[in-house]
Structure 1
Amino acid sequence: MQQPPRATGIGSLPGTDIGAAHRLVFDELPDLPFLPELPARGVGADLTGRGTALLVELYAEVQPSGWRLADRPGRDARRAAAFLRQDLDVLEENAQDFTGTLKVQAVGPWSLAATLELRHGDRMLSDLGAVRELSESLTEGLRLHLADVRKRAPRAEAILLQLDEPALPGALRGTVPTASGFGRLRAVEEPVARDVLGKLIQAVHDAGATAAVHCCAPDVPVELLRTAGADHISFDASRLEVDSRRDEQLGEAIEAGVGLLLGVVPTLEPPRVPGVNQLLDKVLSLTRIGFSPRQLAEAVTITPTCGLAGATPPWARQALILAHRTADALADKAA
């Protein structure tokens, strides 16, 4: 059974004060708070660095070209692990009495492979065998991570793991650049992408959690994510072009019980701040695919369009408030 409309964030927030970030999230998103990520802290707090901190028996370090596999954990790996540990310690302080659903985020296997280099310098995405090894390592790391989150939020009813896959559409199209930047890596076939992602999602389910996949590209592969087993698909509704085929895929996803984390609140403060009714209209535009406001309310969670790391702190707060108020307005519309 679907949840009533809720609001949450994508994951990242501005600033470096993790305590303040947790207070913001639990204050403004009581129905679906998330584990904040603060990339402004530097190396190790970025999307790829945070992903490397979850790997089991694979290590990485920062080179001039970016994160690269290493033979042993060094300063960069220790820094990434320390950030993650600190974040979980603060979560433990704030989530002792929390009884709802808690969302945590991690980079997905395809986006990690597109940004992490092999030891000789090419991207891991160039070697499907290496991608599978990476995914297996990440899967085991996420299993341990989810168990740790449950210990730190002992009364949480459920855990939702969001896999961030911004590079997945590029991997499928063959537009991910080589490490040198002078070429493009060969496109990944959809069955291969689905298989790798599906095995990881199944492991998440086996760990007692549900899985969302976030992709803010305009060509989010809805059907692939649904058939890979995602419980929720997260995307930027403002960038999703009206397309009859994609509308059909969204309809099939909703009919199959897949939830939509719908990004409608601007990530950066616009010249004219949208009102709740304007944001609600963006949600209700999906009635074009044949669903009533009540059905959309059962399927939709309201979010900003993407992460808020580049926002000002006042706008980050306002964006989360707007998401929450829009979710309330959707509930009223469906009543």
Structure 2
Amino acid sequence: MSDGGVRATGVGSFPGDDQRDFDEALAIVLGELAADERGLPFLPEVPGRGATAGLTGRTLGLVAELDADLQPEGWRLTGTSGAPPVDQRRARSLLAQDLDALEERAAGHTGPVKVQVAGPWTLAATVERPRGDKLLADHGARRELAQALAVAVTDHLADLRRRLPVASELVLQLDEPALPAVLAGRVPTASGFGKHRTVHPPEASEALSWVLAAAAEAGATPWVHCCAPDVPIGLLRGAGARGVMLDLDLLDADGHDASAEALEAGETVVLGVVPTTGPLPGDKVLVERVLRWLDLLGLDPERVGGGLVVSPACGLAGSTPAGARHALELAQAVARAVTG
């Protein structure tokens, strides 16, 4: 996918609240990343368009084996069979519309392309059971959700490959911002007075492995993104992630060491270094920061360059279109400068 140099990408979300904003986001992504061999373009998300365009809604729109609808508290499985509820159909239709736009504008693209879906543990911590409370409270329900998501990922990647037949590589990004809280027993119950029980690492790894294996078997490279503290990098790699996407500001000593191990093993580390809030620094500041990080880990930029990707620290939904464009420009500039 790369000539050995550091690459650049984005996490996924962009600002806006209507279809024109999605069109602008797609134009920015393709304009900044598709024409450069160091760039990894992706299907942008514009969650400001409503719950059906957010990470959870987009992913539930893909999961044909489970029916879900929108309640005042958020997404909930219905426990029924038959035609999908109207909200889920809307989410599915909106994603298909976005994929149509990607197919049209990226026709003939021969480089890599990335798409994002919510991971099984973030969904379990977010989506409610038919009888109330999160899926996280029900061992059987969370297994069923993970298995249904694996099927959905297979179908989604087959659709993407049909739409972009000459893309050199498909990357499936599994978004798991809630995973550290799930592992630590920090997810609140519906009442708000308690916490859901801790999910132990073997079960967490198994559910992740079903989805990541489905992506790999569909011919995609599976990555996991988590812009939260205490990212279990070793668990993610053990479950089959060939890339991890991290916020550099949130890494502790264990995270630095685990990132070095991943790079030395020939896997990918996507380093979130471009801020998503406040004034953006110059590219020289960010280049120096990446080089200091590599030096701290005892890694040669030239040797690990092909496995290192630079990105914004997290999504850009809270930015402006101009700010989002500038963030991707900075990521590109940093990627080019680190290894030349």
Residue 27 of structure 1 corresponds to 31
SS of the aligned residue for 2:123 comes to helix
| TM value normalised by structure 2 | 0.93
Quote how far apart the aligned CAs of 1:193 are.
0.6
Gaps spanning 5+ residues in structure 1: where? Answer: none
SS of the aligned residue for 1:155 comes to coil
Say whether residues 1:250 and 2:259 are aligned partners: yes
Residue 329 of structure 1 corresponds to 337
Residue 181 of structure 1 corresponds to 192
Quote how far apart the aligned CAs of 1:252 are.
1.8
Cα distance in 1, alignment partners of residues 255 and 180 from structure 2:
14
SS of the aligned residue for 1:13 comes to coil
Residue 165 of structure 1 corresponds to 176
Quote how far apart the aligned CAs of 1:56 are.
2.2
Quote how far apart the aligned CAs of 1:230 are.
0.7
Quote how far apart the aligned CAs of 1:304 are.
0.3
Which range moved further: 68-77 or 147-156?
A: 68-77
Corresponding letter in the other structure for 1:21: A
Cα distance in 2, alignment partners of residues 129 and 176 from structure 1:
18
Corresponding letter in the other structure for 1:246: G
SS of the aligned residue for 2:249 comes to coil
Corresponding letter in the other structure for 2:33: L
Counterparts of 1:262-277 in structure 2, within 5 Å, are 262-270=271-279, 273-277=280-284
Residue 295 of structure 1 corresponds to 303
Quote how far apart the aligned CAs of 1:325 are.
0.6
Please say if residues 264 and 304 of structure 2, whose CA atoms lie closer than 8 Å, have aligned partners that are also in contact. Answer: no
Cα distance in 2, alignment partners of residues 299 and 140 from structure 1:
28
Counterparts of 1:200-215 in structure 2, within 5 Å, are 200-215=211-226
Cα deviation code 1:150-184 (max 9, x no counterpart): 11111101100000000000000000111222210
Quote how far apart the aligned CAs of 1:247 are.
2.8
Cα distance in 2, alignment partners of residues 187 and 281 from structure 1:
39
Quote how far apart the aligned CAs of 1:186 are.
0.4
Please give the root-mean-square deviation of Cα atoms over the aligned residues, in Å. Answer: 1.3
Cα deviation code 1:42-73 (max 9, x no counterpart): 12011111111111220111111111001252
Cα deviation code 1:201-259 (max 9, x no counterpart): 11111111001100000211111111111111001112223x1x333322221122220
Say whether residues 1:155 and 2:162 are aligned partners: no
Gaps spanning 5+ residues in structure 2: where? Answer: none
Cα distance in 2, alignment partners of residues 81 and 152 from structure 1:
16
Quote how far apart the aligned CAs of 1:137 are.
0.7
Q: Among 64, 68, 71, which residue is 2:76 paired with? A: 68
Cα distance in 2, alignment partners of residues 248 and 330 from structure 1:
20
Please say if residues 5 and 302 of structure 2, whose CA atoms lie closer than 8 Å, have aligned partners that are also in contact. Answer: no
SS of the aligned residue for 2:192 comes to coil
The alignment of Structure 1 onto Structure 2 pairs a total of residues equal to 328
Cα separation, partners in 2 of 1:227 and 1:63, compared to 1, 3 Å: same
Cα separation, partners in 2 of 1:19 and 1:247, compared to 1, 3 Å: closer
Say whether residues 1:55 and 2:63 are aligned partners: yes
Cα separation, partners in 2 of 1:214 and 1:149, compared to 1, 3 Å: same
Quote how far apart the aligned CAs of 1:5 are.
1.2
Please say if residues 118 and 124 of structure 1, whose CA atoms lie closer than 8 Å, have aligned partners that are also in contact. Answer: yes
Please say if residues 8 and 320 of structure 1, whose CA atoms lie closer than 8 Å, have aligned partners that are also in contact. Answer: yes
Corresponding letter in the other structure for 2:58: R
Please say if residues 227 and 314 of structure 2, whose CA atoms lie closer than 8 Å, have aligned partners that are also in contact. Answer: yes
Say whether residues 1:278 and 2:285 are aligned partners: yes
Cα deviation code 1:248-306 (max 9, x no counterpart): 32222112222001100011232xx3111111122121321221121342221110000
Corresponding letter in the other structure for 1:20: E
Cα distance in 1, alignment partners of residues 151 and 58 from structure 2:
15
Cα deviation code 1:106-130 (max 9, x no counterpart): 0001101110000011100111211
Say whether residues 1:10 and 2:11 are aligned partners: yes
Please say if residues 25 and 321 of structure 2, whose CA atoms lie closer than 8 Å, have aligned partners that are also in contact. Answer: no
Say whether residues 1:84 and 2:100 are aligned partners: no
Please say if residues 237 and 282 of structure 1, whose CA atoms lie closer than 8 Å, have aligned partners that are also in contact. Answer: no
